[in-house]
Structure 1
Amino acid sequence: MRIMCLNGWGGTLHEEARAYLAREAPDVLCLQEVVHTPAANKDWLDYRDGDHVLPQRANFFQDISAALPEHVAIFCPAAQGILWDGDETVPSQWGLATFVHRRFPIVGQMQGFVHKGFSPDGYGEHPRSRSAHVVRLHDFDLGKPITIAHMHGLRDLRGKIDTPERLAQAQRLVGLVQAVAEPGDRLVVCGDFNVEPDSQTFGILASLGLKDLVVGRGHSDTRTSHYKKPGRYADYMLVNETVEVLAFTVVEQPEVSDHRPLLIEV
């Protein structure tokens, strides 16, 4: 089984991302920063946050769903705010998505929030609502289940320092995993955590027996050339001791986002 984790950057590099994901077609794709705009009649809209303006692929969720036609696609919204079409506003949902190949039945799942709750009337003040999704799959190749979880950790304008909110989000993620996984399950937990490698987040996740593969295997960068700020860690993938890791890669090329994909084969 091949599992990929990627922050999709709102589809900013849509063509590259879609082509890459269609070619790689991981069995499970954990995708963060996903845009879903049911009312859109254009392919591109703008996200505006003060002076920060970022093009958004209006229906990135549908784009990737089309690129992975053999996968079950699940969208988990964190908030509904507005995107801009010139001077006009368009209601748009933002969150994360999980894509599971149809040959792996989903035998359990839970969607929940690791920070705040669903915001229906705007994206809200920073740090904004953040969600997580956990799926439990039956792996017929090995004849046993695997539980996979991902989250998009909150963004704090003060940086990636530990805060009470970040520690609480780690505890909530642990609770979501425990609600779905059963004793003895193989566990894979990943996402754009928005923390540094020395964060207390990893101590909390260690309560599930999880160890990180990014820093643990000597990788020092999970961002691409499109990311211009200091601090090159953001994305992590953790496994428990029952997972046999056949291969793990922090993908440098092609660049499909300002984040690098994390790809594990178990």
Structure 2
Amino acid sequence: MADVIYPRLIGARLRSQMSYRASFALDLVTQVLAQWIELVVILVLFGHISALGGFTKDEVLLMYAFAGCAFGIADLFAGQLDNLPNYIRTGTFDVLLMRPLGTLPQIMVSDVRLRRLGRIIGAIAVMVYALTHVGIGWTPAKVALIIATPLAGAVIYGAVWVVACSVCFWIVEGREFANAVTYGSNTFTSYPINVYSRPLRWLMAFVVPGAFVAYYPSLALLGKQDPLGLPGWVGWTSPLVAGLAAVVAGFVWRFAVRHYRGTGS
């Protein structure tokens, strides 16, 4: 039944958005520009320096593009979790529990916004530029890595979204915490992780596995050694890390839902 219902829910939502095509096109362009505004920060930074953490401008742009594309995909499918505090506070989550469908998929398909494709488009444009300006020894494995990296990164971001938003089951107004972790992870992963302080690096790179969104895959593509000393094969493990992150996120969500008691409203 779920195989039929979810596509219909998504289709209905997408059709409603496409009914106002001019508005959709404007929103799409706005999202592309929003992605590129973050790019301006990097370009201004490299107007004053020649390397960041041992990486050139084009190499940092590659990391930025991977992170931006992955975050855009995750935002498209998991960004609806930002509404979880409202679901809990208003009692709407209780309605989801009464349906013979998973609560997490119901939230994820509740408000799929096509305008978020703009972030993905903007990041892909930067990725094409970066890939044509950095020195990569092309092999079939590296082509596969380029395709797999944004997808694995999206799963990692999605898992972070689920875990961070699960806090709202205990702290109803926990949206700010969730936003700090999810959107903060996007900013963190857009730069080489070796430029951050050790405590922040360990927290955001390995506890929250942000290093596997863009940093380590970029090292594998570029054939560069990790300044932090990890072996080169780590750059190929993002899909594995994404799978583990998804398992952990699923466990945390189920645990949170089982202990959900409502807000009394």
TM-score normalized with structure 2 length: 0.24
Structure whose CA Rg is larger: 2
Q: Which is helix-richer, 1 or 2?
A: 2
TM-score normalised by L of structure 1: 0.24
Which of 1 and 2 has higher RCO (CA within 8 Å, sep 6+)? 2
